[in-house]
Structure 1
Amino acid sequence: MDHSQLMAEMPEIEKMTAQERIALAKERRRDQLRKCDERERSLPPPRPRRQRLRFSPEVALLEATGRADAAEVERLLREGANPNSHNEDGLTPLHQCAIDDNQQIMLLLLSHGADVNAQDTEQWTPLHAAACCAHINVVKILIANGANLLAVNADGNMPYDICDDETTLDAIESEMAARGITQAYIDDQRGAPEKAMLDDMKSLHQQGYPLDARQPDGSTYLHIAAANGYYDVAAFLLRCGVPATSRDNDLWQPVHAAACWAQPDLVELICEYGGDINAKTSSGEAPLDLCEDDTTRAVIATMQQQEARKKRLAFGVRDSRRQSRRQIVVEGGHSPNNPTKTAEKSDRYSISVSVTVLIVHRTKIAL
């Protein structure tokens, strides 16, 4: 009912008694509620309320550790969160504490069974992180709880290798000395990953499995050995006939991997077995384009020069052969179709040139 209708019926309402006015008001209220109910029934059903986004306890634990919220970390651990949970990079809460120098949460995690030697995707342990960041108190906590002093990361480094702080380094080396760790033992541990891979490759070879098997990304065992600097493994694979020019899904050859991860000895070895020092990836990158290490770049540049020299010598051989055939025809009267003397001379020249190339190659290596 609009305003004009109310004004029109006012004279009639004024004539009513109080009881009649109350009855009229109640009737109109009932009518109002009925219409409201009919309107609501005609509307589409309401959308269901969205459920709140909930994270797993493990994700929450990583997040709380990053915020240094000790109370939240303790609650999550008490409720059963896995102290060894990790993100896509393999970083555990203990790694995060080592980076942030958070001793309180580190002790909480260790008391709930956190793995003191957990490795991320680059095989860094919490001790690697603490040593690199020079957090000496965290280093001492980790060592006291059984941290591996000789853990080797993907770059072949142990915690003491990447520690630049003298005080922290002294603490690590003092513990190594107290445990009777010698340089020979350190060398054995550093070479353990390569030895393990070499043993695996030999076992596969003895059982008749192909050594050029490919991973989902198209890489081979030779790519892995080249990237990690496993010289003995790469040499074994190449001697067993694994192609030096195998390409992965991005057209990387093993020589690209060796160049990218600064393995100059592997670059030379792979090219000795036929690797292409000028090969291009799917992005058009040659090994030199992928290399940032000065020593490795110098090796690649030298090998490129050798390759260019070989091509020039090979071109000279072909040109000399053509000239020899023309000279024989003109001076000796022999036809090119009569190969007797021509073939004999060409073969001798080919042998002498091959020896020359070999001498040049060896000279460059000796230099």
Structure 2
Amino acid sequence: MAATDRSRSDAAKQRRQDQLQRWSGSETDRTGPDARETSAGPGPGPGPGPGARRARVRFAQGAVFMAACSAGDQEEVAALLRQGADINHANIDGLTALHQACIDENSEMVQFLVESGSDINRGDNEGWTPLHAAASCGFIQIAKYLIEHGANVGAVNSEGELPLDVATEDAMERLLKGEIKKQGVDVDQARKQEQRVMLQDANAVRTGSGSLVPHHNTKATALHVAAAKGYIEVMKVLLQCDIDVDSRDIDGWTALHAAAHWGQEEVCSLLADHMCDMAAVNNVVSLAN
């Protein structure tokens, strides 16, 4: 039994090292006291000479944490959390370790992360919660566990979809429909929740009691979101505020790009009335119109 445990541990560690190597291009920092050292030296020749300085590579703690979770190494995950790792660290797509554990059908890691305080209702860049992920993959036991521990069956992603809407198997649909009925969730109201919240936030900005913060990963603003989804009332309030109508997300898209891409004609007209840049070019050199 001990040999089997060692074998699993070795396999997990090898998988984690492989992941760290794949992420090295975007998740490394070649400075700092926490560096993981390589054997490459600065001088000529095939290897370092006596006393040669060793190149140092430090993998960001978030990358190490995500890799340990994906490898199923609960011992190291717990150690990293004690060292201050953010249990809700998200990758460039907004996926947390809990999202990934659901996608990987790693029930043990799902339970470990939830019990350790992971945000069970956090959405990724597209608004998908862990329950959306489990529902779309058909992982019924994980979905049940998430619901039992507070997952919101009425959560809506960026496309206005509930976990029920992305479920592809009958058993999952029955589970989610049953929970929606049991909890008395108004599905129609749930689908409109984002627009209501955005309108409240926009009014708070207009009256000076709130502020607009771009998405931490995509840098998209509320104006981008409202433009893409055709939230006209939200747009009208936002455009009364002192905001940059041509603000750009990480890909260089303006609100006009978003409205044009999603076919929101009324939004395009509204933005034009507010003197947006009709010739705006994004990072892939695509005209807004």
Alignment partner, residue 172 of structure 2: 168
Contact 2:134–2:142 (CA under 8 A) maintained in structure 1: yes
Amino acid at match of 1:131: A
Q: Which residue type is aligned with residue 121 of structure 1?
A: N
Q: Which position in structure 1 is the counterpart of 2:268?
A: 270
Deviation per CA, 1:300-354: give whole Å up to 9, x if none.
Answer: xxxxxxxxxxxxxxxxxxxxxxxxxxxxxxxxxxxxxxxxxxxxxxxxxxxxxxx
Q: Is 1:116 equivalent to 2:120 in the alignment?
A: yes
Aligned partner of residue 178 in structure 2, secondary structure: helix
Q: CA RMSD in A?
A: 3.9
Cα 1:142–1:272 shift into 2, 3 Å: closer
Which residue in 2 is equivalent to 1:305? none
Q: Which residue of 2 aligns with 1:202?
A: 203
Are 1:66 and 2:67 counterparts?
Answer: no
Task: Choose from 26, 46, 71 the match for 2:50.
Answer: 46
> Distance between the aligned counterparts of 2:96 and 2:106, measured in 1?
13
SS in 2 for 1:113: coil
Larger Rg belongs to: 1
- Give the TM-score normalised by the residue count of structure 2: 0.64
Structure number having the greater helix percentage: 1
Q: Which amino acid aligns with 2:280?
A: T
| Correspondence for 2:148 | 144
Instruction: Encode CA deviations 1:41-98: one digit per residue, 9 max, x unaligned.
Output: xxxx93345276554654323113323xx3x223431562543333233222111111
SS of 2:138's equivalent in the other structure is coil
The alignment covers a number of residue pairs equal to 231
Question: Does the CA contact (< 8 Å) of 1:227 and 1:257 recur in 2?
Answer: yes
Q: What is aligned with 2:234?
A: 233
User: 2:191: which partner in 1?
Assistant: 190
Q: Which amino acid aligns with 1:166?
A: D
CA 1:90/1:273 → structure 2, altered by over 3 Å: closer, same or farther?
closer
Residue 218 to residue 109, structure 1, CA distance change in 2 (3 Å): closer
Pick one of 91, 104, 110 that aligns with 2:108. Answer: 104
Give the Å deviation of 1:233. 0.8
Aligned positions of 1:1-367 closer than 5 A: 46-50=50-54, 53=57, 55=59, 58-67=62-71, 70=72, 72-78=73-79, 80=82, 81-181=85-185, 185-207=186-208, 222-237=223-238, 240=240, 246-248=245-247, 254-260=255-261, 262=262, 264=263, 266-271=264-269, 274=272, 279-282=278-281, 283-287=285-289
Q: Which residue of 2 aligns with 1:31?
A: none
Which sits farther off after the overlay, 120-129 or 201-210?
Answer: 201-210
Identity across matched positions, percent: 33
Normalized against structure 1, the TM-score is what?
0.52
- Deviation of residue 134 (structure 1)? 1.4
Amino acid in the other structure paired with 2:190:
Q
Give the whole-Å Cα distance in 2 for the aligned partners of 1:205 and 1:170.
43
CA contact (8 A) 2:87 2:118 kept: yes
